[in-house]
Amino acid sequence: MTAADAMSVNVTAVDVASVDVASVNVTSSETILRRAGDRGWLIECADRHPAEVATSIRAQPWASGLREVVPAARTVLVVAETAAGMGKLAAGLRTVLDGPGARPTGPPPGRRIVIPVRYDGPDLPGVAERLGLAPDEVARRHSAGEHRVGFFGFAPGFAYLDGVPESLRLPRLSSPRPRVAAGVVAIAGNQTVVYPGGTPGGWHQIGVTTARLWDVTAEPPNRLAVGDRIVFEVVAP
Amino acid sequence: MTVTSAAPGRWVRTRHRSPDPGTGPEPAVLRVVAAGPAASVQDLGRPGLAHLGVPASGPADRRSFRLANRLVGNPEDTPALEVTLGGLAITLSTTRHVAVTGAPAPLTVDGVPVEGAPRLRLRAGSVLAVGRPWAGCRTYLAVSGGIEAERVLGSASRDSLTGLGPDPVRAGAEYGLGPVRPVPAVPLELAFSVVPCGGPATVRFRWGPRHELFDAADRHRLTTTPWRVSAECDRVGARLTGPPLAIGSVDLPSEGTVRGAIQVPPSGEPIVFLADHPVTGGYPVIGVVTDADIDLVGQTLPGDELRLVPVH
């Protein structure tokens, strides 16, 4: 980072053995920008939802100069097309993070998408037994509320959906399956997923949907987007 | 000999005497005679989709890939072959210019050695073979007009992590060729690739985003240890071996990662992410190799020594 860059972004020097300024504290929003390579900033979102931060960034006129905006569990990674102007980019990001309407909020409203699920997955009986519930009750609780698309990761089209009720939370399988078909609905921890197909999987498979949520031949390939609200609807086996 | 180079380091420009539009009754085809251990079709990948969980992929050594395409007059993003550790042999149904860049490897045309020519004119039916490189591991072979391969999400890159893109290159596979392009007058004496060769490779990196999770002694060790590339290296990443760093019990939720990220798993032995790296990771990233030097890491072999040097 050049001296001019550093001046524009309110740098708080970090105590690093090799004297490098790799993170920038943006104290007014308690959000931290951390350097992620020549062209990247990793935004630690503090009390703001990464999906909302990502949406705000994408709405900026200068966002066309960005190659990637990747929201995750607590962070947003921003990667520029070129390494020029990383200080200016940090200043722009800070403006978004500090701007009006950028107070702590929930995720953006998103769309409401209903996904029909047949609750007859191979792990459903075991899940029900471990939770002390009837299989029908597992299905009822899984389909009762809304699930929010938190972020994509792990594999193409693998959307982490938040909002699994406390009563359904289980750790992952001790041994993942080598390959899980598209449409399998599974749970682990406070998250649920509709498998995009062709990936390994260590989550508990409780059902299946015929809805195609990820299709590499479609434009766009994703039917779900970060921030969308998902409702599972029980359909008869 | 079908090569148009008069001597190593000297180049005689030739023109096509009989233009080949590639549109005759016989389609122009590249046929794979032998595939070698790990050849794949690549273009410049599928950037911009990381928020959907799609890795960027693309060549492990982008600089050599672009050079190969430029040498035969193709746009830089044209699909070409990435050959790992040699073993590839191809033949064309029509005479075309081909360029071979990246890890320097013994080349033969119909068994006759070719020397000092990053670009050559390969006659229809002749077999061009790429041997095992004597430095580096990835050699790029581009054909004038480019090869035609399945595109997935806008790219013909084979992503070894997710399986997106064309199938791995196999013996007997055939690829159509695009319309022939005029070969530019590139000063070929400048057309060399940078690969690690003779002694440790200096690899520059930036600290962050999670270097603060490591104490000063470990950060110091990262930059003073001569790291060796282990046998665990592929297009996803290269694991380095050396005295392990201590990361303690870090509970870091998954976050976005970039090519070049130096991720430190609980073993304490760093992994440098390459072209097919996952879009998110849960281990702390102590630093990121610079754009300028990550292609060099993409050329390293097990046993190669790296020195990690921080830049500002």
What does the longest C-alpha to C-alpha distance in chain B come to?
68
Predicted structure pTM score = 0.86
Residue numbers of A between 129 and 158 with CB closer than 8 Å to B: 151-158
B260–chain A nearest CA distance, Å: 8
A106 touching B, CB under 8 A? no
What is the ipTM score, two decimals? 0.88
Q: Give residue-wise pLDDT tens across range B130-143.
A: 999 999 999 999 99
Residues of chain B neighbouring A16 (CB-CB closer than 8 A): 207, 211-212, 219
Predicted pLDDT at B90: 98
Does position A4 have pLDDT exceeding 50, yes or no? no
Q: What is the mean pLDDT of residues A19-48?
A: 75
B253 touching A, CB under 8 A? yes
A37 with B164: Cβ contact below 8 A = no
Which pair of tokens denotes residue B9? 């380091």
Q: Give residue-wise pLDDT tens across range B189-226.
A: 677 777 877 789 999 999 999 999 999 999 999 999 99
Q: Which residues contact B239 (CB under 8 A, 6 or more apart)?
A: B229, B230, B232, B233, B269, B270, B271
B310 with A151: Cβ contact below 8 A = no
Q: What is the mean pLDDT of residues B58-75?
A: 96
SS (H, E, C) chain A: CCHHHHHHCCCCCCCCCCCCCCEEEEHHHCEEEEECCCCEEEEECCCCCHHHHHHHHHCCHHHHHEEEEEECCCEEEEEECCCCCHHHHHHHHHHHHHCCCCCCCCCCCCCEEEEEEECCCCCHHHHHHHHCCCHHHHHHHHCCCCEEEEEECCCCCCEEEECCCHHHCCCCCCCCEEEECCCEEEEECCEEEECCCCEEECCEEEEECCCCCECCCCCCCECCCCCCEEEEEEECC
Predicted pLDDT at A31: 81
Q: Which residue of A has its CA nearest to B255?
A: A72
> Of all residues in chain B, what percent carry a pLDDT higher than 70?
92
Predicted pLDDT at B192: 74
Residue numbers of A between 79 and 98 with CB closer than 8 Å to B: 79, 83
Chosen from B259, B277, B280 to mutate, greatest number of chain A CBs within 10 A: B280
B206 touching A, CB under 8 A? yes
Q: What is the mean pLDDT of residues A54-70?
A: 95
> Of all residues in chain B, what percent carry a pLDDT higher than 90?
80
Predicted pLDDT at B25: 57
Q: Which residue of B has its CA nearest to A218?
A: B153
Q: Which residue of A has its CA nearest to B280?
A: A153
Does position B43 have pLDDT exceeding 50, yes or no? yes
Predicted pLDDT at A19: 32
Span of A133-137, A200-204, B79-83 with lowest mean pLDDT: A200-204
Mean pLDDT of chain A: 85
Does position A21 have pLDDT exceeding 70, yes or no? no
Residues of chain A neighbouring B47 (CB-CB closer than 8 A): 67-68
Q: Give residue-wise pLDDT tens across range B107-154.
A: 999 999 998 778 999 999 999 999 999 999 999 999 999 999 999 999
Q: Which residue of B has its CA nearest to A199?
A: B162
B53 touching A, CB under 8 A? yes
Q: Give residue-wise pLDDT tens across range B17-28.
A: 444 554 555 789
Predicted pLDDT at A104: 55
Residue A5 pLDDT class (50, 70, 90 cuts)? very low
Does position B16 have pLDDT exceeding 60, yes or no? no
Residues of chain B neighbouring A74 (CB-CB closer than 8 A): 253, 255
> How far is CA B113 from its chain centroid?
23
> Within 13 Å and on the Cβ side, how many CA atoms surround A25?
7
Mean pLDDT of chain B: 90
Residue A108 pLDDT class (50, 70, 90 cuts)? low
> How far is CA B300 from its chain centroid?
11
